[in-house]
Amino acid sequence: YPEYYIPKHQLERPLREGVLVRPQDQANLLSAAMRFITRLVTRYRNRDSVVAWQLEHEAVDPLGFEHSWRLGRDFVESELAALRDCDPSRPVMMNGFLPTTSLVRLSQSWRTRDQGDSLAVAAQLADIVGLDYYPRNALLRLGPSTVYADGSAAKPPGSLFAAISERGRRWMVAEGQAEPWEITTVPPNPPGKSMFSCGPHHVIQNYSAAISWSSRETPLYAYLFWGAEYWILRARSGDSSYLDAFQRVLTV
């Protein structure tokens, strides 16, 4: 954290907590970000393996527990313009965290009430809306136990798919949880004792959930499994259950 990393040499002074990072306040930072985007896109745009560009990560949300500043929508719009100017031929994907419980939903909506969360902004600006899907959230540890919020039965709000459909966007799962996401993760935990946030069967369950959201009007464009390095680590330690679960997905 924070997942949006700002090199210290690009800041005249540290960003104040709770502020929106606006172009008029951080002109040098925006210029540096646009130069970086231009260099990166120019370098790789002639490669056939590039099918789309991702702009930022959960672009306008406060990320992590260390900082509460956020990118302003106008800052992101300027970055998007620079990206499209460099490569108008490819779609742009922007992602956002999908709340699956009332607690997370209320917290996210309150913290982003001034300009909307990253999913709302993605539906307005991007060609592809990426959902970050982590349905079981570890909240806190109580002695040897952990308290979770389980939102695995929840579906994305209909308003999100309505916005995607009305604007002619596509949607995908940019991060489909396929490894544990805990207060403290000690990989690999012993076979048969996988952490509650994501056991091997959840790799299949989370993918199946996304498939069930797909419709003729708003079909699922792609699903990215988030956790392959964890599967390999488990397998090298004698537990291939996560790799086996992924193999089952491939054979369906």
pLDDT digits (tens, 9 = 90+) for 26-38: 999 999 999 999 9
What phi and psi, each to the nearest 5 degrees, are found at residue 176? Answer: -95, 115
170 and 220 assigned to the same domain: yes
Identify whether 61 is part of a domain: no
Rg (CA), the chain: 19
29 and 105 assigned to the same domain: no
Which of 8-22, 35-49, 62-76 tops mean pLDDT? 35-49
H or E stretch at 226? strand 220-226
Local confidence band at 3 (pLDDT 50, 70, 90 cut-offs): low
| Cβ atoms of residues 124 and 76 within 8 Å | no
Q: pLDDT, tens digit, for every residue of 178-218?
A: 998 887 666 556 655 678 899 999 999 999 999 999 999 99
Identify whether 104 is part of a domain: yes
Q: Residue 216, exposed/middle/buried by CB under 10 A (0-12, 13-18, 19+)?
A: exposed
Amino acid 2: pLDDT: 45
Pairwise CA distance, residues 30 & 22, whole Å: 9
State the average pLDDT over residues 81-95.
Answer: 98
107 and 76 assigned to the same domain: no
Q: Is the per-residue pLDDT at 121 higher than 80? A: yes
User: Tokens for 132?
Assistant: 């970050």
Amino acid 65: pLDDT: 64
Residue range(s) defining the domain that contains residue 182:
91-251
| Cβ atoms of residues 200 and 152 within 8 Å | no
Local confidence band at 138 (pLDDT 50, 70, 90 cut-offs): confident
Amino acid 1: pLDDT: 32
26-30, 61-65, 148-152, range with the lowest pLDDT: 61-65
Identify whether 58 is part of a domain: no
23 and 96 assigned to the same domain: no
47 and 145 assigned to the same domain: no
Pairwise CA distance, residues 224 & 12, whole Å: 37
User: Which has more pLDDT, 69 or 183?
Assistant: 69
Local confidence band at 5 (pLDDT 50, 70, 90 cut-offs): confident
Pairwise CA distance, residues 23 & 203, whole Å: 40
Q: Where are the beta strands (DSSP E) in 57-209?
A: 70-71, 92-97, 128-133, 136-142, 145-150, 170-177
Average pLDDT, the chain: 91
